[in-house]
């Protein structure tokens, strides 16, 4: 009997030990790694070294967390393991630019050196002398749109689903906002009779299934802005552009022709899961203005004494909107700045295809840019003159700069509304 009592006591003690240990284990498992971006220029004078400031900021929200790694080159900050609550508290501290959860990125097939035909020889493109995408232009040409490396802002636009979940995306859309309510949501692949209807290519959407709804389109094949034009032409009021495995989490903010935002593959897959499982899916897109401060590592405000135009945003693509009601011609001007990152060279501009029969004339001033040294900057202005066209008319063109060997291009999307 005594042995039975002893066994029960030991068993009870063991259970107590397990029950007391469980919360500690659960607490530890709730921690995950975060990257903390710090505004080094805002460090208080009371700290002799920036790492002391980092450590003090971390200790103010957690007595257990420790810095795993410090960053001093591309960004200033550190990595650590925090709970969700601690991460939110730390983000509100002075001098904290962003507290971002660690993400694992994998190299995609279309981005590998082998796929691009790169080698370690001086000729970066032994099999080709031009590339059609500006992203590749940093490798195959000596000029580079300045914004690609110095743009200090993000352009968040959130997808808010009818089930209460929100997903972050990016967009440069600055037109009329969506109504302040949830709207019907449809997957493009389910609103088309074409096998590639999910890509929102010209003439593939069924207006009766799209009208008055926000449409989810998959990225690929045709231009991103053109997909929005297809949705708009079919009567859609907005678009969510989802990445596929080919693009992963790579996001590009575009000046869309209708309320639209781009999301990564993971978010896109989650959103599709909601679309496919709900008999009456709804959604809206929330545009939050501009914020990448994270890249500038300092507070940034616009100079009130200067005038700013969306058309002067130093972005590689061009989105032009003409008023179809105007009887005469419409004139829109865009200014861009290029930075030479290679050897001295002269680049001449061309417009492809010819736009004479498209209802719009495109001219560039100056038509050539000569660079004499590295990091030299040159600006140019593109003037778009459009004749009167019916509402919902769209044209697409391409502006290309070439030194006779290499080509870097910018897509152009034109609409009449």
Note the pLDDT of residue 104.
67
Read off the pLDDT of residues 361-382 as tens digits, 9 standing for 90 and up.
899 999 999 999 888 999 999 9
Q: Is 115 helix (H, G, I), strand (E, B) or coil?
A: helix
Of 17 and 94, the structure prediction assigns the larger pLDDT to 94
Dihedral, 86, 90, 91, 92 alpha carbons, nearest 10: 110
For residue 384, pLDDT over 60 is answered with: yes
The mean pLDDT of the chain is 77
Listed in sequence order, the DSSP H helices in 218-357 are 224-233, 265-277
Q: Domain 31-104 carries which CATH code?
A: 3.30.70.80
The CA-atom distances, in angstroms, between 187 and each of 178, 190, 214, 223, 275 are: 19, 5, 9, 18, 7
For residue 383, pLDDT over 70 is answered with: yes
Residues 407, 410, 411, 414, CA torsion sign: negative
Among 224, 218, 226, 193, residue whose Cα is nearest residue 207: 193
Note the pLDDT of residue 33.
92
Compute the distance between CA of residue 396 and CA of residue 414 in angstroms, rounded to an integer. 6
Q: 117-131, 243-257, 345-359: which has the minimum mean pLDDT?
A: 117-131
Note the pLDDT of residue 178.
85
Residue 192 gets which letter from DSSP? B
Read off the pLDDT of residues 11-41 as tens digits, 9 standing for 90 and up.
444 444 443 444 444 444 588 999 999 888 8
pTM, whole model, 2 decimals?
0.43
Mean pLDDT computed over 288-296: 55
Where are the extended beta strands (E) located within 28-182? 32-38, 67-71, 77-82, 96-101, 143-145, 156-161, 166-170
Among 187, 253, 238, residue whose Cα is nearest residue 217: 187
Note the pLDDT of residue 154.
61
Whether residue 137 contacts residue 408, with contact meaning beta carbons closer than 8 Å, is answered with yes
For residue 208, pLDDT over 90 is answered with: yes
User: How are strands ordered across the β-sheet holding 345-352?
Assistant: 318-322, 407-416, 393-402, 345-352, 368-371
Q: Length of the chain in residues, anyone?
A: 417
Whether residue 262 contacts residue 171, with contact meaning beta carbons closer than 8 Å, is answered with yes
Class level of CATH domain 310-416: mainly beta
Mean pLDDT computed over 394-402: 87
Residue 188 pLDDT grade (very low, low, confident, very high; cuts 50, 70, 90): very high
List phi, psi (to 5°) of 381.
-125, 135
Residue 90 pLDDT grade (very low, low, confident, very high; cuts 50, 70, 90): very high
Compute the distance between CA of residue 368 and CA of residue 118 in angstroms, rounded to an integer. 29
Taking 3-state DSSP, the helix, strand and coil percentages for the chain, each rounded to the nearest 5, stand at 25, 30, 45
Note the pLDDT of residue 108.
47
Whether residue 104 contacts residue 50, with contact meaning beta carbons closer than 8 Å, is answered with no
Residues 180, 181, 182, 183, CA torsion sign: negative
Compute the distance between CA of residue 25 and CA of residue 358 in angstroms, rounded to an integer. 66
Note the pLDDT of residue 21.
41
Mean pLDDT computed over 253-277: 89
Give the count of beta carbons closer than 10 Å to the beta carbon of residue 247. Answer: 20
Residue 111 pLDDT grade (very low, low, confident, very high; cuts 50, 70, 90): very low
| Beta-strand relationship, 214-218 and 238-242 | parallel
Which of 122-131, 191-200, 303-312 reaches the highest mean pLDDT? Answer: 191-200
Residue 414 pLDDT grade (very low, low, confident, very high; cuts 50, 70, 90): confident
Note the pLDDT of residue 35.
92
Mean pLDDT computed over 314-339: 82
Residue 167 gets which letter from DSSP? E
Residue 298 pLDDT grade (very low, low, confident, very high; cuts 50, 70, 90): low
Q: Which two tokens stand for residue 20?
A: 């007391």
Note the pLDDT of residue 355.
54
Note the pLDDT of residue 288.
67
Q: Which two tokens stand for residue 75?
A: 């960004």
Q: Which two tokens stand for residue 212?
A: 């008055």
List phi, psi (to 5°) of 101.
-65, 145
Residue 397 gets which letter from DSSP? E
Strand partners, 217: 241
Note the pLDDT of residue 153.
54
What is the second-level CATH architecture of the domain 156-287? Answer: 3-Layer(bba) Sandwich (3.50)
Compute the distance between CA of residue 300 and CA of residue 37 in angstroms, rounded to an integer. 16
For residue 186, pLDDT over 80 is answered with: yes
Among 200, 179, 205, residue whose Cα is nearest residue 242: 200
Q: Which two tokens stand for residue 209?
A: 């299934």
Of 283 and 247, the structure prediction assigns the larger pLDDT to 283
Give the count of beta carbons closer than 10 Å to the beta carbon of residue 298. Answer: 12
H/E element holding 16?
A: helix 2-29
Compute the distance between CA of residue 100 and CA of residue 211 in angstroms, rounded to an integer. 38
For residue 296, pLDDT over 80 is answered with: no
For residue 168, pLDDT over 90 is answered with: no
Contacts of 363 (CB under 8 A, 6+ apart): 382, 383, 385
Compute the distance between CA of residue 101 and CA of residue 249 in angstroms, rounded to an integer. 14
């Amino acid at each position: 009997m005594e042995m039975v009592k002893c066994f029960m006591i030991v068993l009870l003690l063991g259970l107590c030990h397990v029950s007391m240990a469980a919360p500690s284990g659960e607490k530890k498992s709730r921690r995950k790694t975060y990257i903390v971006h710090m505004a080094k220029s805002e460090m208080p004078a009371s700290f002799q070294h920036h790492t002391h400031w980092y450590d003090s900021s971390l200790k103010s929200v957690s007595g257990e967390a420790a810095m795993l790694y410090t960053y001093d080159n591309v960004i200033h900050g550190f990595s650590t393991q925090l709970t969700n609550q601690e991460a939110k508290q730390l983000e509100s501290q002075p001098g904290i630019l962003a507290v971002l959860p660690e993400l694992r990125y994998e190299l995609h097939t279309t981005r590998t050196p082998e796929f691009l035909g790169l080698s370690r020889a001086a000729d970066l493109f032994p099999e080709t002398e031009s590339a059609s995408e500006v992203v590749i232009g940093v490798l195959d040409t000596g000029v580079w749109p300045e914004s690609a490396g110095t743009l200090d802002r993000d352009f968040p636009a959130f997808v808010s689903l009818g089930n209460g979940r929100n997903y972050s995306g990016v967009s440069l859309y600055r037109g009329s906002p969506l109504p302040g309510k949830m709207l019907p949501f449809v997957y493009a692949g389910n609103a088309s009779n074409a096998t590639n209807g999910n890509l929102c290519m010209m003439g593939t959407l069924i207006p009766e299934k799209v009208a008055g709804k926000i449409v989810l389109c998959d990225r690929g094949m045709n231009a991103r802005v053109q997909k929005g034009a297809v949705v708009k032409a079919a009567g859609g009021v907005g678009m969510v552009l989802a990445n596929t495995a080919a693009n992963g989490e790579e996001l590009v903010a575009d000046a869309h022709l209708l309320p639209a935002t781009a999301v990564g593959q993971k978010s896109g897959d989650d959103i599709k899961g909601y679309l496919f499982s709900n008999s009456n899916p709804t959604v809206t897109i929330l545009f939050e203005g501009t914020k990448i401060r994270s890249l500038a590592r300092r507070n940034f405000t616009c100079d009130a004494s200067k005038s700013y135009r969306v058309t002067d945003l130093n972005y590689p693509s061009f989105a032009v909107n003409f008023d179809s009601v105007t009887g005469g011609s419409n004139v829109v001007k865009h200014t861009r700045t290029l930075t030479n990152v290679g050897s001295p060279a002269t680049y001449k501009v061309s417009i492809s295809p010819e736009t004479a029969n498209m209802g719009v004339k495109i001219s560039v001033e100056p038509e050539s840019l000569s660079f004499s040294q590295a990091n030299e900057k040159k600006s140019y202005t593109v003037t778009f003159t459009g004749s009167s066209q019916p509402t919902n008319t769209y044209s697409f063109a391409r502006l290309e700069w070439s030194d006779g060997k290499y080509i870097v291009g910018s897509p152009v999307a034109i609409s009449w509304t």
